[in-house]
Amino acid sequence: MRRIILLMTVAALVVVSTLFVVSASGAHKQPTAKAQKHPTRTVLIKGFRFKPAHITIKRGTKVRWINKDSTAHTATANNRRSFDSGRLGKGQRYSHTFKRAGKKPYHCKIHPHMRGRVVVKR
């Protein structure tokens, strides 16, 4: 009888320790908070428009413009200092990380009627 109790205790310990190891390794696979700290927003340049034309982001967010038109475009800050993609051909992309809060209106140098705005929050 004692031997059976001893065997059952050992079996229970093995089950418990196996569950512990499985749950500990599962916890490792969860994404870290750091990966979400600097998110990326994408703005498509399509049909001679920025899509979406107006975005609101948090400071530290990276904005990525992708030209989906066959015509070349730019994403150029109206003040011409904050950021300027330069000429983006078909399929080309440009990224800028916004570190300061404020309103950042921009346009396309080649087609000045193309306008967009990034609002950066603290």
Binding site for Cu ion (CB under 5 A): 73, 108, 110-111, 114
C-beta closer to Cu ion: residue 111 or 115: 111
Least distance to Cu ion, CB of residue 114, Å: 5
Cis peptide before 39 (omega within 30 of 0): no
Least distance to Cu ion, CB of residue 122, Å: 31
Q: Alpha-carbon torsion 27, 29, 33, 36, what sign?
A: negative
C-beta closer to Cu ion: residue 61 or 74: 74
C-alpha torsion 86→92→89→106, nearest 10: -40
Rounded Cα distance, 112 and 59, in Å: 27
C-beta closer to Cu ion: residue 73 or 96: 73
Least distance to Cu ion, CB of residue 91, Å: 15
